[in-house]
A = this chain, B = another copy of it.
Amino acid sequence: MAIRPAEQLIHKAAWLYYAHGLRQDEVANLLKISRASVAMYLRKARETGIVNISTSTQLFTDDVMAREVEDAFKLDAVWIAPENAYVADPSTDIAVLAASVFLELVKKGDRIGVAWGRTVYTIADIMSYADLQDVTVVQLCGNLGAPYSYRPDQCTMEIARRLNARGLNFYAPLVLSTEALAQGLRAEPVIRDQLAGISDCDLALYSVGAVDADSHLVKCGALTPAEMEALRKEGAAGVIAGQIIDASGEALDCSYNRRVISAELASLRAIGKRLMVVQEDTKFEPLLAAIAGGLCTHLVIGAHMAERLLQQAGAASKKAS
């Protein structure tokens, strides 16, 4: 990013206003510009992440329920968005929380893996800007050809843009028509390197998909509704980074999975912090599968989903005893 003459001014204005606590008109006088300009600069400063306004997400982890979920499923940290109220759209609430949590987890110099989906894109879309240095955002799975508004590469790039980070895209389709072609492509140096680099990530951000006709895999034409239904009968429980997993969180042994170009589940598990965000209550089974497979260490969910998880955990422990 070239140093535009205004950049310096924006920074100074932000510094005087936010760090020194001067009023806008005082800043305007010092910098010899009009107050209106100062107001404009400050907006830009916020938009570009020169100033960071973050609210502690404590409240959502402090919750008793969050602790219970943590303990029941052996997760590192759980955030629960209260669904009872306040905001019009409850799923937005989860995304806003997820964005805050995500920004709290990211550190300078980190390498971040990002998958794709409506949830991830929503998070990217509402996430505030930050001025992280030396951050790399890598795409965890191949692209879907479909002209969707939240394609894997778009999720990656949008998040990279917000963080002022490098974005590394995956120049391969998510799913190919033959296993041989997929194998060949995975062996391609460019692709191979990127796949190998995934386990070096410090942080992963993804959601889990449902195995039904609403899945993006179906909507984007990677699978027909009938195929999806067939996979479900074979034991498919969820979709992670474009791959089908079974109830134990392992990749399902099926033709589709063998034709996919995406991060190995083992690589994902090698990532220190795996942040999973689930908005829809219908994704209960997929989430259980993902947790069972050790695919998430940090979890952001709504209150309703948390309740169901605890019920499940209660039932399981009762059965065990």
> Could you list which residues of chain A lie within 8 angstroms of chain B, going by C-beta atoms?
8, 11-12, 14-16, 18-20, 30, 45, 49-56, 58-59, 85-87, 93, 96-97, 100, 107, 131, 133
In the bound complex, residues from chain B placing their C-beta under 8 Å from that of A86 are 12, 16, 30
Asked if B51 and A19 sit within 8 Å, CB to CB, the answer is no
Q: A18-B54, A45-B55 given. 10 additional CB < 8 A pairs?
A: A8-B59, A12-B59, A14-B55, A15-B59, A20-B87, A20-B96, A50-B55, A56-B131, A58-B131, A58-B133
Asked if A85 and B15 sit within 8 Å, CB to CB, the answer is no
Asked if B52 and A19 sit within 8 Å, CB to CB, the answer is no
Residue of A55, A58, A107 with highest tally of chain B CB at under 10 A: A55
Residue on B with the closest CB to A82? B12
**Given contacts A30-B86, A87-B20, are A55 and B96 in contact (CB under 8 A)?**
no
Q: Chain B's nearest CB lies how many Å from the CB of A264?
A: 30
Residue on B with the closest CB to A104? B108
In the bound complex, residues from chain B placing their C-beta under 8 Å from that of A58 are 11, 50, 131, 133
Q: Chain B's nearest CB lies how many Å from the CB of A183?
A: 43
Residue on B with the closest CB to A132? B56
